[in-house]
Homo-oligomer: A and B are copies of this chain.
Amino acid sequence: MAKLQKSIEKREALLEATLNLINSGGIQEASMSKVAKLAKVSPATIYLYFENKQDLINKLYLDVKESFSKKAFEGYEEGLPVKKSFEKIWFNIANYKITQRAEACFLSQCDNAPLVDMESRREGLKHLQPLLELWARGQEEGIIKEMSNYVLYAYTIYPLAFLTNTEISVYCQLNKSSLEEAFQAAWDSIKV
């Protein structure tokens, strides 16, 4: 009860502290003692919750990745037409990236720098499965180009990482209309 609750809270405080530190200064700034200080625990306490630094980062990655996918497929039902479904998912993701900027940036960092180990990476990829299936259906129906999943992803989802990037978002704020624009570009790139 109270104890378990506190334990969970501490774990989450540690993950959050790590996320924030990595986000603002890269791993180089996310030393275990800084993480501890920010989470208001002793350095030794971290090791009650995580095996070591790599484990802490891996777990953070999986944690964030899961929260991301939950949002991504929120309200998604398999029965709807492909474009409608895709639109739903795309906006879900865009929304996540805009509102949970810290998490989104962290994921980008993980995708482009060797922060996370291969196994966690592979684990993290699984979450996308429903989207891949949707694309397959679109291709069967002749709506979506016959391109590999990687290319489809590169032209529809990946660009969002750029647009919601901390640096970029300063100059290029995504409002409702520019978001519609971006979706149109995404769809145009893959639709037949």
Contacts and interface: CB of A to CB of B under 8 A. Distances in A.
Among A147, A181, A185, the most chain B Cβ lie within 10 Å of the Cβ of A185
Given A26-B27, A109-B112, A185-B145, A150 B163 contact: yes
Interface string A88-130: 0000000000000000010011011111000001000000000
Given A111-B112, A113-B112, A186-B155, A147 B181 contact: yes
B185 A172 contact: no
A155 B159 contact: yes
A41 interface: no
Contacts of A155: 155, 159, 182, 185-186, 189
Given A27-B27, A155-B155, A159-B155, A147 B185 contact: yes
A178 interface: yes
Interface in A150-177: 150-151, 153-155, 158-163, 165, 167-168, 171-172
| Copies of this chain per assembly | 4
A165 B113 CA distance: 10
A188 interface: yes
A148 interface: yes
A5 interface: no
29 contacts: A26-B27, A26-B115, A27-B27, A27-B28, A28-B28, A111-B112, A112-B113, A113-B113, A145-B181, A147-B178, A148-B172, A148-B178, A150-B162, A150-B163, A150-B168, A151-B163, A151-B172, A153-B162, A154-B159, A154-B162, A154-B182, A155-B159, A155-B182, A155-B185, A155-B189, A158-B158, A158-B159, A188-B188, A188-B191
